[in-house]
Chains A and B, each alone.
Chain A
Amino acid sequence: MKEKGWKECLWGGLIVDAGNSVLYKTGDWRSQKPIRDEKKCTDCLQCWIMCPDAAIKVKDGKVVGIDYDYCKGCGICSKVCPFDAIEMKEEGEQ
């Protein structure tokens, strides 16, 4: 995003584009990468409800992937998974 000068900013520090933080990709913070094993996953969605970054992609009640654009690699998903379906790997290892 191009930085604005003060004259171009809206009064009161308004941000009218709700949710535009998606333009800021936090995935490059990550040093550990969660890898999901589709065969072990039962779509219980524990990882989804516990993810701080809404990085577990769910469609029609099923996990369809991990959003590496935003995943910061905290590893919570891997810890809360009751089926050991998510493994944390060193970034760049795979």
Chain B
Amino acid sequence: MVSLKKLSEKEELLAPGHRLCAGCGASIIVRQVLLAAEDPVVIANATGCLEVATTIYPYTAWRVPWIHSAFENAAATIAGVETMYQVKKRKGEITRDIKFLAFGGDGGTYDIGIQALSGALERGHDILYICYNNGAYMNTGIQRSSATPKGASTTTSPAGKVIPGKRRFPKDLTAIVAAHNIPYCGQTSPSFYNDLIGKVQKALSAEGPTFLNIISPCPRGWRHETDQSIAMAEEAVTCCFWPLYEVENGEWRLTGYSKQIAEGKKEKTSVIDWMRKQGRFRHLFTDARKPFLDSIQEEVEREWENLKKRCGY
């Protein structure tokens, strides 16, 4: 268990005054991640909401060394910085321990940055890559990505009479990353800060590449009130749309609330109830769209059963 009192004594490494929207999930995630880190950190950031809104020239919200180069290459950028550190350490020019992190949104991770991410994971750099996953290109005005849930209306998968929002399921990036056989990866949610902070600390203490996929509510893109962000990221977990799990040296394990659901200690909630609270799914609640809506519930069920099997349930 994390002691919030102890954490609150640490320096705030993401300064206020950044221009992320009210109720943004990304800055909650970054704050929790930075509080979890015990060593000094260096961060690379892919293009996206977080990068744009925290570093509007001539201001920066970061109180740690931070670099942005392009949309597709946060993983390659941090891999380069980490390599330089390893060389300098070997030569004795740096003696202290430093951790290397990359932040990317789902656009910069699932789509545009996947090649750089896959490369960095395969080469074995000692980095932690964090995807704050809000399920669309929110920064440019809500375009679909390969992380956008089925049925969500975005400007490039607009719901209308013919199209029911996005017609495809999101790809399972965490499983793709796990297939790289890296020491540690997993999924978490800022609503379960114990789970999130625990996983960040585990990832940072592992040697080699690590990855966390973190669900990041977006009031603008998901179309919910700004005060609902934490509730949305919580219900995504309780309805098993976003299960909490980790893969450590090839061993799959459910954690926290998801583990309790699998063991029958907590009630699983309905995916459709979670969707009903978000305007991006509003168009699905008609009689005509009922079969489509049901297909979403079925798919989430199937994925959850698959995950449980992988985790030995």
Contact = CB atoms under 8 A, between A and B. Distances in A.
Interface of A: 1, 4, 9, 13, 15, 17-26, 29-30, 43-46, 48-55, 58, 61, 67, 69-70, 72-76, 78-80, 88
Contact of A22 (B15, B26, B27, B64): B15
Contact of B14 (A15, A43, A54): A54
Contact of B17 (A15, A26, A46, A88): A26
Interface string B8-39: 11001011111111111111100110010000
A79 B230 contact: yes
What size tier do the contact residues of chain B reach? 35 or more
Please provide the 7 A-B residue pairs with the shortest distance between their CB atoms, ordered closest to farther: A75-B227, A21-B17, A74-B23, A70-B16, A72-B22, A19-B15, A61-B5
Instruction: Indicate the member of A15, A52, A53 with the most B CB atoms within 10 Å.
Output: A52
Given A19-B15, A70-B16, A52 B22 contact: yes
Contact of A50 (B16, B21, B56, B190): B190
B196 to A, nearest CB: 10
Given A15-B55, A20-B58, A53-B27, 16 more contacts: A1-B58, A1-B59, A13-B57, A21-B15, A21-B18, A21-B60, A22-B15, A44-B4, A49-B7, A52-B26, A54-B14, A54-B16, A74-B227, A76-B28, A76-B230, A78-B227
Contacts of A20: 15, 58-60
B225 interface: yes
Interface of B: 4-5, 7-9, 12, 14-28, 31-32, 35, 54-64, 190, 193, 219, 225-231
